[in-house]
Amino acid sequence: MKKILYSFILLSFIAFSCDEFVEPDPKDRITPQIALADLDGAEAFLFSAYNRLHAFNYYGQQFHLTGEALSSNIVIGNNTGRYTGAVVNAVGSHFNLWADPGGGNFHSLYQIINDVNIVIENAEANREEDSDRADVMIAEGRFIRALAHHDLLRAYSYEPGQEVGGFNLGVILRTEAVDAASKADFRPRATNTEVYAAIESDLLAAIADLPSDGNQAAFPDRASASAARALLARVYLYMGRYADAATQADAALNASSVDIVAAADYIASFAATVHPEAIFQINIQAVDWSTVDGVNNSMTTVTKTTSGGAPGSSQGAVRASDELLAAFETGDIRRDLFRNPESADFWESDKWPGELGDFREHIPVIRVSEVLLIAAEAKARSGNDAGALTDVNRLRTNRGLSASTASGSALIDLIMQERRVELCYEGSHYWFDLKRLGLIIPKPASSGVDPLATDDFRRLSRIPPAEIEQHADAGVDLVQNDGY
């Protein structure tokens, strides 16, 4: 992906979730009028938004593994202090996407959202320069804004229809740019359905203006129409709109230029810089590497050990749980991604091999396999067992397994099992699946921790207390999630 060519512009605008506006120093270096006088200036903020996606607390690492530790997919390997709170569901050891806890590799998703809000407003203002380019930039911004808003909802809110005790608050909805101090404000949380409606609107608009895979020069590192359809299918699945989820998933699969990899190529696919199944992914390039650790801090460092051949100072902080390993059927090629170089009970993952060098690796965000499973689940929950079997068996037969003939609830169970083993270590899908369906969340037997009940307050992450206090000081009631 093209990186930030106008990084000096970013000194002008750093909008945090608490809505502070930071001026450049020296203040006469550049002005908003200069920075955003044309589409090049607006595009700099688009590059910034893409760049922030691989922050350590987001797709760089923690968003992939926190949910695995909160459920039953991973346990602590070498105790480095990482994820130790999550494996026991300690208060405050959940997802941290709301606020910047002091800089470094952490970013608030509201910084990402504000970057694209600036893009959308200023691309519109400068569309006479090149209307087609402006339309695509706006569509990319809408895609990223939808992704960030949905990930915030997944961490901090209940899905529609799964509210506990009627608690239906979503997150703060931001659709206007904060590019001057006068525009900064504090506001309460919107309802979950209000935020979902905004996400749907963004993605439908993005689909209309984004290029196809073949016409997106930086595919899959920048958004395409297929990526937007795939994300909308995921969103509809979370909303329980299964017929719509199936429609969008099928459309994404039919329009995409990428396909599922065969069993013989599965292991090698995760060592490819561009994952062959990626509909949308993030790449870490040399310019992003700080020489101490990467911007993404690397999945390799915590999922592999140095003696296992990983680059850099890998720690093997987490390993696969017995429960996850037992979930793979005999003959499943995906089980071969786990190996035990240290001892029989230390199963590390080769899913993140650090193929770009020390602390750097590709980060698939949406893969064809997930979209197939979205289509299968949505069809099964809509009563279309035949269509669901076609989709899930397409996956199974490309993973070394036989086709299934399951139907009804057994078919749904099979699809959810396939989601667990296919998407483990990628985006905490197992945790979010259990949460969105209102199911008990199991814990590994070795942890000695009780499962999370369907009404356990720790199913939602805690909004940073400082955010609550700052809003209160401004006279705005930012309601904390129940139990905190």
The rounded percent of the chain whose pLDDT value lies above 70 is 87
Q: Which long-range contacts (CB under 8 A, 24 or more apart) does 430-433 make?
A: 430/67, 430/68, 430/71, 430/73, 431/66, 431/67, 431/68, 431/70, 431/71, 432/67, 432/154, 432/238
Within-domain flag for 457: no
> What's the whole-number mean pLDDT along residues 256-277?
95
Within-domain flag for 267: yes
Mean pLDDT across the chain: 88
Q: Which of 195, 414, 22 is nearest to 404 (CA)?
A: 414
Q: Give the per-residue pLDDT at 175.
A: 96
What is the pTM for the complete model shown? 0.92
Is residue 461 over pLDDT 70? yes
Is residue 51 over pLDDT 50? yes
Q: Which residues have C-beta within 8 Å of that of residue 170, sequence separation ≥ 6?
A: 153, 156, 157, 189, 190, 191, 192, 193, 194, 195, 196
Within-domain flag for 288: yes
> What's the whole-number mean pLDDT along residues 169-173?
98
Within-domain flag for 115: no
| pLDDT-based confidence at residue 20 (cuts at 50, 70, 90) | very low
Number of domains into which the chain is organized: 1
Is residue 37 over pLDDT 90? no
> What's the whole-number mean pLDDT along residues 429-447?
97
Q: Give the per-residue pLDDT at 370.
A: 98
| pLDDT-based confidence at residue 12 (cuts at 50, 70, 90) | very low
Within-domain flag for 328: yes
Q: List, for residues 65-118, the tens digit of each pLDDT value.
A: 999 999 999 999 988 899 999 999 999 899 999 975 555 567 799 999 999 999
The rounded percent of the chain whose pLDDT value lies above 90 is 74
**What CATH number is associated with residue 234?**
1.25.40.390
Residue, of 347 and 180, whose pLDDT is higher? 347
Is residue 190 over pLDDT 80? yes
| pLDDT-based confidence at residue 290 (cuts at 50, 70, 90) | low
Within-domain flag for 28: no
Within-domain flag for 7: no
Q: Give the per-residue pLDDT at 331.
A: 97
Q: Give the per-residue pLDDT at 120.
A: 97
Per the listing, tokens 């985006």 go with 427
Is residue 183 over pLDDT 50? yes
Within-domain flag for 254: yes
Domain housing 374: 210-293+305-430
Q: Give the per-residue pLDDT at 19.
A: 37
